[in-house]
Amino acid sequence: MRTVIGLEVHAQLLTKTKLFCSCSAEYFGASPNARTCPVCLGMPGALPVLNELAVEYALKAALALHCEIPPRSIFARKNYFYPDLPKGYQISQYEEPLAVKGHLDLPTGKRIRIRRLHLEEDTGKLLHRPEGYSLVDLNRAGVPLMEIVSEPDLDSPEEARLYVEELRRILRYLGVCSGDMEEGSLRCDANVSVSVDDQLGTKTEIKNMNSFRAIEEALKFEVARQKAVLQKGEQIEQATLTWNEITEKTELMRSKEEAEDYRYFPEPDLVPLQIEDAWREKMTESLPELPAAKQARWAHDYGLPAYDISVLTDERRIAEYFEEVVKIYNKPKDASNWMMSELLRLRKEAPTSAIKIAPKDFAHILQMVESGQINRNTGKEVIAEAFQTGKTPEAIVQEKGLSQIADEETLLSAIDRVLAENSKAVADYKSGKEAVVGFLQGQVMRATGGKADPKKARELLMRKLTAL
Ligand code: ADP
Ligand code: MG
Ligand code: ZN
């Protein structure tokens, strides 16, 4: 039995204003219904005006996904009644969408075909109260969404997850969608069927998955359920399901009989959208280097291991940071280790704070460690301080007196003191216990406040000990 999956992803576009009016699209945290106007409240007679930036963002995504962009597309009304949809219809695209026939290559190399990409408006939100009534907040009504529909080319829940991860990475590189699944900025509906022959089986559609894990788990559950039904010789009922996070089961939302008939028809209040060649070319030129291209180039230019590349190119800002660092500190593997172990760790500990350390300062710290001006631990300390304050490494080293001590005279006097204070260890060494060298070295580091150049200190310590 073969698993077949096709995904419909809704991505909220990062425009300042809504798709058809000038209300702020930042509905998160705003007081209910504060970001509304006659257009997005669906008042009779109010007319939509298309947001040009939303079209540009959708075009960028379409081009990044190698779609064909027909010279003309049209908007359509998708009719249904629901309290979060004040007009009684959603403005979407149905026939003649913005873009068609694209593809996305998974990191595994497999190519997934994209059927279509279109623009539509979001609905409002309902807040169901335990007292038995519901509240309506229309701040989200009219926020621009882009829907990206794949062909049924995915053949496992793991692959579906990879697809959404890669799609999200691309949209974030483009800066057109935040990709925050928990906040609902990226939402995914999964269509899944199991086929027993070379025909496509009957599919079910799963809604309401708001994390990568949920997508994978919901699909695993649903595939197993469908296989069990088919194995009993029964048939799959076409249906819309919802994923219950708590029970970790899919539940019936509506069956085929209850499926809605949206009576799509062309939106009479908006003229057809024409995408001229010049506009498309301008958008093509504005595309940044995308993750897959960057990864291939890094493998060639930097010779980094695949793991390092995948970690450091996950986010465009981090990837570009790395590129800046190695322009100055031209040891990619070293720079990669430092970035993964220090910069990314610090950011993980304080995810909301800005990275204040400039790439050139980060590179400079690595140079200071390499030249022995400061030791590795001091390097980490300076990175942490610069991360928070944005001060230059020179300023931090000077302020805190962190320069490494490589001066022989200073080191020798510290070593003499340590040897005098640890006569037992010295005696142990003379009787052949070489392990005490490590202990004595530690004492020298302590005596210098951790600033001794470790290599130099060890060399001098050994010279002293063997001369005893
Ligand atoms: P609907 O009309 O129910 O929305 P579509 O044919 O428009 O269905 O397809 C919606 C999504 O479902 C697409 O992503 C498509 O790839 C996927 N899909 C279509 N048929 C199947 C199938 N038999 N099994 C799995 N996915 C499918
Ligand atoms: Mg559908
Ligand atoms: Zn409005």
Residue 249 near residue 218 (C-beta atoms within 8 A): no
Whole-number Å distance between alpha carbons of 396 and 404 = 13
Query: Which residue's alpha carbon is nearest to atom 14 within ligand 1?
Result: 6
Q: How far is the CA of 90 from the centre of ligand 3 (A)?
A: 14
Whole-number Å distance between alpha carbons of 149 and 169 = 17
Whole-number Å distance between alpha carbons of 423 and 429 = 10
Structure confidence by residue, pLDDT tens digits, 196-209: 988 999 999 999 89
Residue 96 near residue 72 (C-beta atoms within 8 A): yes
Query: Which residue's alpha carbon is nearest to atom 11 within ligand 1?
Result: 6
Regarding the beta carbon of 5 and ligand 1, being less than 6 Å apart is answered yes
Regarding the beta carbon of 193 and ligand 1, being less than 6 Å apart is answered yes
* Integer angstrom CA distances of residue 32 from 29, 39, 94: 9, 17, 31
**Confidence (pLDDT) at 403:** 75
Residue 311 near residue 344 (C-beta atoms within 8 A): yes
Q: How far is the CA of 91 from the centre of ligand 3 (A)?
A: 14
Query: Which residue's alpha carbon is nearest to atom 8 within ligand 1?
Result: 191
Any alpha helices (H) in 232-315, and if so which ranges? 277-286, 291-302, 306-312
Q: Which residue has the tokens 């798709």?
A: 19
Whole-number Å distance between alpha carbons of 280 and 56 = 9
Q: Please check the confidence at residue 402 and state whether its pLDDT lies above 80.
A: no
Q: Which ligand is nearest to the CA of 149?
A: 1
Percentage of the chain modeled with pLDDT above 70? 100
Cα 163 from chain centre:
13
Query: Which residue's alpha carbon is nearest to atom 17 within ligand 1?
Result: 6
Nearest to 178 by CA among 15, 44, 337: 15
Q: Please check the confidence at residue 237 and state whether its pLDDT lies above 80.
A: yes
7 Cα nearest atom in ligand 1: 14
Regarding the beta carbon of 8 and ligand 1, being less than 6 Å apart is answered yes
Q: Which ligand is nearest to the CA of 114?
A: 1
Q: What is the pLDDT of the chain when averaged over all its residues?
A: 95
Q: Which two tokens stand for residue 180?
A: 């925050």
Sorting pLDDT into bands at 50, 70 and 90, what band is 384?
very high
Structure confidence by residue, pLDDT tens digits, 98-156: 999 999 999 999 999 999 999 999 999 999 999 999 999 999 999 999 999 999 999 99
202 Cα nearest atom in ligand 1: 23
> Does the predicted TM-score (pTM) go above 0.95?
no
Helix (H, G, I), strand (E, B) or coil at 252: strand
Whole-number Å distance between alpha carbons of 220 and 243 = 11
Q: How far is the CA of 438 from the centre of ligand 1 (A)?
A: 66
Q: How far is the CA of 45 from the centre of ligand 1 (A)?
A: 36
Regarding the beta carbon of 192 and ligand 1, being less than 6 Å apart is answered yes
**Residue 220 vs residue 453, higher pLDDT:** 220
Structure confidence by residue, pLDDT tens digits, 180-196: 999 999 999 999 999 99
Q: How far is the CA of 283 from the centre of ligand 3 (A)?
A: 27
Structure confidence by residue, pLDDT tens digits, 258-284: 878 899 999 999 999 999 999 999 999
Phi-psi region of 449 (alpha: psi -120 to 50; beta: other; left: phi over 0): left
Regarding the beta carbon of 203 and ligand 1, being less than 6 Å apart is answered yes
E-assigned strand segments in 38-196: 72-73, 76-79, 89-92, 99-105, 111-121, 125-128, 134-137, 144-150, 186-195
Q: How far is the CA of 308 from the centre of ligand 1 (A)?
A: 36
Regarding the beta carbon of 259 and ligand 1, being less than 6 Å apart is answered no
* Domains of the chain and any CATH numbers: 2-281 (no CATH), 289-400 (no CATH), 408-467 (1.10.10.410)
Partners of 192 in beta bridges: 5, 204
Sorting pLDDT into bands at 50, 70 and 90, what band is 374?
confident
Pairing status of strand 204-209 against strand 239-244:
parallel
Q: How far is the CA of 220 from the centre of ligand 1 (A)?
A: 18
Calculate the dihedral angle through the C-alpha atoms of 215, 218, 224, 230, rounding to the nearest 10 degrees: -100
Overall average pLDDT of the 162-186 stretch: 97
Q: How far is the CA of 18 from the centre of ligand 3 (A)?
A: 7
Whole-number Å distance between alpha carbons of 197 and 200 = 8
Regarding the beta carbon of 152 and ligand 1, being less than 6 Å apart is answered yes
Q: How far is the CA of 222 from the centre of ligand 2 (A)?
A: 17
Amino acid code (one letter) for 203: K
153 Cα nearest atom in ligand 1: 16
